Structure formats: structure tokens, C-alpha cells
């Protein structure tokens, strides 16, 4: 007997194909999960690495150029309240080279050397050192200091028997007299007497040895600067401060010294006013006078010259009636140095 033959048995309504589909789906899910587990998981950075290396936006390799948009590391960040930076500089500023050590041939050192030579009595060597510096300097203050030193040394050299390139030795011959010697060498009797310590110029003997200055002097005058430069063979010798004519009354051009007078008489309105040596007297010419005569194409002038003054505060100004004024001490020195026929150039 079969079970379906029993009365109370009911055959279940099963569908076998549904079980087959469910089995296939479960199998597919199992396979998919199994494959996913075999893939490599994403690499995780160690925790300590993130604390050592900055993010890519902040890190700049030591050998790489900084990005154009990144603020340079060397630029100081402004304060929170300040404005943003307006310019960018290289991250590392180039270090300027160290200045070279001061050389011994700079102007300051050479002036020190010249002063040391002067102190030791080597006047000619000191003068040559200063002359070299005068050609090199462009500093007006330093130039004035050097000019004063050269003038001081030149006077010290010229009024002594000290040998120098501008001097010659003269051996007195029978029939010589001091005026003849001075004229032969283009110098002055006063300078010969001073430089050779001749007490009595009327008593010189054959065989005496004199040191004679032979360089030719010339003068240049600047009315604008109220300065006079004395040249010896066209080399700077000394500079003097002077006074010139009011309202440009001092004539310009080329001249020569045609006459020289000690303790000159001053002619005023046809009246002779004698020299008295009184600073408060009427004679305004000071202690010396040197007449100027026009040369070349310069129009003839009369009554002009170089003279001393009792009014020291007028030196450096244009206050005279047209003549060139000097301190009495300066005009006496110049009178001793320059002979008659010394050329003089006056410029505006």
C-alpha cells in the first residue's frame, strides 16, 4: 500500500525549481564575498609618520625652489593686526661679500705718512707725498687741508738752504752782487737774503755758496671765489684768501707785476697819503703794494694792484674799489717771493 493511498494523507505542493534558484543565489554570494576578502586593503600610514612630515602643501625640499605662491620662509610674517606683505623676497638672501681690508695706500694713511715725514724734518718728501694726494682727492675739505700743508711746506723749504729740485747752488764769482744774482735766476733779493741768511747783502765774497730758487712763479686770481693761487713752474705752490672789487670792479684778463713798493704811499684825489703803519690812519694800502699792468689783448688799466689791508674782515669779500687785497702778513710773503714781471691772470 502506498501512502497516497491512505485517506488522510495529502501530498505537499512543493516546487523543486525554487530550491535550485535559491541554491544558485547563495553560491554566488559566497563566491563574491570570498573574492573580496582576497583583495589588498588600502595602505595605512604609520601614526608616527604623520607627526614627522608636514603635509605636501607645507613641505619644501631643501634643494627645491620655493613655489611661487608659497610665502618665503625667510620673510618675517606680519603681525595679525598689520597689513599683508606686498612684496616677496628669496627664501635665502645672498650674503654680501666682506669689504676688503683697508689698504695702506688710502688717502687717510698717506696723509698720516706725510705728517710723519714732516715731523721728522723730511720736508721735500712730505711735500711730494701731499702733491700726489692733491691730484687724487675729490673731497673739498680734504683738498683744502692738503693745499694748506703744501703751502706751509713750500714756504719752509724755500726760505732755508734746504736742497730741493727747484734750487741750484750758485758760487759767487768776482764782480757778483746780490741784485745781479737775483736777476740772473729770476728771483728776488729778499728771497736770496732770507734763504741764505745773508745779514749784509752788500758784503758777499767770491767763493761764497748760495742756494737759489729757480722756479718761475705765476699768479691766478678767481674773483668769484676770492682766491689767489701761486704757481711755481705751473705746479701748485700756495693758495691765499683775498678781497676783490665791489660791483665787479676788479678787471679780468692777463697782467704782469710791473712795480713793487714797501710801505707804499697812497694817492687819493691827487693827494699823497704817506705810510705810517697806523691801522687807523688814512693810508689803506697796508704794508706792501705791487702794480698790475695789462698784457696781451687785455685793455689797459691804471691804478690797479695787489696790496695789503688793515681791514682783515674784508678778506674773502668783494668790497674794495677794484684792487686785490691781502692780509698784510700774506702780501709781505708774496712780495718776498715774486719778482717784477711775474704774470698774473684774473678770471671771473
Active site residues: 307, 323
208-247 burial string, b = 16+ CB within 10 Å, else e? eebbbbebbbbbebebeebebbbbbeeebbbbbebbbbee
For 152, the grid coordinates are 706751509
How would DSSP label each residue in 301-330? --S-EEEEES-GGGTTSEEESSSEEEEHHH
Q: Which residues contact 331 (CB under 8 A, 6 or more apart)?
A: 286, 287, 288, 290, 306, 307, 308
Q: Which residues pair with 256 in a beta bridge?
A: 293, 343
Residue the block writes with cell 736770496: 192
Coil, strand or helix at 58: coil
Q: Which residues contact 288 (CB under 8 A, 6 or more apart)?
A: 260, 261, 262, 263, 264, 307, 308, 328, 331, 332, 334, 335
Q: Which residues contact 131 (CB under 8 A, 6 or more apart)?
A: 150, 235, 236
The answer to whether 287 and 329 are in contact (CB under 8 A) is: no
Amino acid at each position: 500500500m502506498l501512502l497516497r493511498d491512505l485517506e488522510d494523507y495529502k501530498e505537499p505542493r512543493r516546487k523543486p525549481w525554487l530550491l535550485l534558484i535559491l541554491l544558485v543565489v547563495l553560491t554566488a554570494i559566497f563566491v563574491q564575498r570570498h573574492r573580496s576578502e582576497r583583495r589588498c586593503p588600502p595602505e595605512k600610514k604609520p601614526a608616527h609618520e604623520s607627526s614627522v612630515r608636514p603635509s605636501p602643501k607645507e613641505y619644501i625640499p631643501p634643494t627645491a625652489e620655493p613655489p611661487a605662491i608659497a610665502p618665503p620662509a625667510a620673510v618675517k610674517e606680519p603681525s595679525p593686526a598689520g597689513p599683508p606683505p606686498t612684496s616677496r623676497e628669496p627664501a635665502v638672501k645672498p650674503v654680501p661679500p666682506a669689504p676688503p681690508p683697508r689698504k695702506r695706500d688710502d688717502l687717510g694713511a698717506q696723509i698720516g705718512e706725510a705728517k710723519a715725514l714732516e715731523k721728522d724734518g723730511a720736508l721735500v718728501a712730505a711735500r711730494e707725498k701731499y702733491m700726489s694726494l692733491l691730484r687724487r682727492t675729490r673731497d673739498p675739505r680734504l683738498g683744502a687741508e692738503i693745499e694748506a700743508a703744501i703751502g706751509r711746506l713750500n714756504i719752509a723749504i724755500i726760505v732755508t738752504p734746504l736742497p730741493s729740485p727747484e734750487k741750484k747752488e750758485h758760487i759767487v764769482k768776482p764782480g757778483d752782487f746780490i741784485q745781479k744774482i737775483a736777476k740772473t735766476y729770476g728771483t728776488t733779493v729778499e728771497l736770496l737774503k732770507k734763504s741764505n741768511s745773508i745779514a749784509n747783502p752788500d758784503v758777499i765774497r767770491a767763493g761764497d755758496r748760495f742756494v737759489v730758487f729757480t722756479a718761475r712763479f705765476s699768479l691766478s686770481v678767481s674773483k668769484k671765489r676770492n682766491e689767489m693761487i701761486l704757481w711755481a713752474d705751473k705746479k701748485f705752490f700756495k693758495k691765499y684768501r683775498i678781497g676783490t672789487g665791489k660791483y665787479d670792479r676788479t678787471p679780468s684778463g692777463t697782467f704782469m707785476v710791473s712795480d713793487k713798493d714797501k710801505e707804499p704811499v697812497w694817492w687819493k684825489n691827487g693827494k699823497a697819503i704817506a705810510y705810517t703803519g697806523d691801522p687807523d690812519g688814512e693810508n689803506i694800502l697796508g704794508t706792501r703794494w705791487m702794480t698790475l699792468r695789462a698784457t696781451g689783448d687785455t685793455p689797459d688799466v691804471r691804478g690797479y694792484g695787489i696790496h695789503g689791508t688793515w681791514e682783515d674782515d674784508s678778506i674773502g669779500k668783494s668790497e674794495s674799489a677794484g684792487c686785490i687785497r691781502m692780509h698784510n702778513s700774506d702780501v709781505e710773503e708774496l712780495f718776498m717771493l715774486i719778482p717784477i714781471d711775474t704774470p698774473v691772470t684774473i678770471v671771473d
